């Protein structure tokens, strides 16, 4: 358990640095920004303590908020995604799998991992951009930002996971 906590700490720090220094400055087509730190919430093991998942997600979101000038936005949405991940893993994982199933392409398979990642990433992007704008006067822009950011984030998540699973 201690090794896993150290690995989680290194992973959260790495995703934080990459997001703040590189990905926050990428705006594809003027609407899409990869939000790679959601990958942190996706990869918690099956029976990781729920309270600890929420604390980790909130803390990473709060760090992102401090450096991205989005007070409380990433923290609240990361906490929501952490909560959804706990229940989504139980729905998607095979019933006969281990209780401490690692969420990865290797253990779930590409289709199930991609489905779970896409659902959580889309949830994150939808809520994040809805709260960021806090109005629905420009629904097409909200949909475009959600779609492009989800696709960019999914490409990065699948690329990292394909390297990680080898």
Residue 134's region, left for phi above 0, alpha for psi from -120 to 50, else beta, is left
What letter would DSSP give residue 135? Answer: -
Total count of domains within the chain: 1
pLDDT tens digits for range 71-124: 899 999 999 999 999 999 989 888 777 878 889 899 888 999 999 999 999 999
pLDDT tens digits for range 6-50: 999 999 999 999 999 999 898 888 888 999 999 999 999 988 899
pLDDT tens digits for range 121-146: 999 999 999 998 877 788 899 999 99
DSSP state letters, 57-120: HHHHHHHHHHHHT-TTHHHHHHHHHHHHHHHHHHHHS-TTS-TT---SHHHH-HHHHHHHHHHH
- Cα separation of 116 and 124, whole Å? 12
Please give the residue range of the domain that contains residue 111: 2-164
Do 122 and 64 form a contact (C-beta atoms < 8 A)? Answer: no
pTM of the model: 0.92
């Amino acid at each position: 358990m201690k090794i896993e906590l150290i690995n989680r700490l290194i992973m959260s720090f790495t995703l934080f640095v990459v997001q703040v220094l590189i990905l926050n400055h990428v705006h594809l087509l003027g609407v899409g920004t990869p939000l790679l730190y959601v990958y942190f919430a996706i990869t918690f093991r099956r029976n990781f303590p729920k309270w600890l998942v929420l604390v980790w997600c909130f803390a990473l979101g709060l760090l992102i908020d401090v450096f991205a000038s989005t007070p409380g936005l990433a923290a609240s949405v990361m906490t929501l995604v952490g909560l959804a991940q706990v229940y989504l893993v139980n729905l998607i994982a095979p019933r006969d799998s281990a209780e401490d199933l690692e969420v990865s392409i290797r253990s779930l398979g590409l289709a199930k991992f991609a489905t779970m990642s896409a659902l959580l990433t889309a949830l994150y992007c939808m809520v994040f951009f809805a709260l960021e704008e806090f109005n629905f006067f420009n629904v097409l822009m909200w949909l475009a930002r959600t779609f492009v950011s989800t696709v960019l984030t999914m490409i990065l998540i699948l690329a990292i996971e394909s390297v990680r699973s080898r």
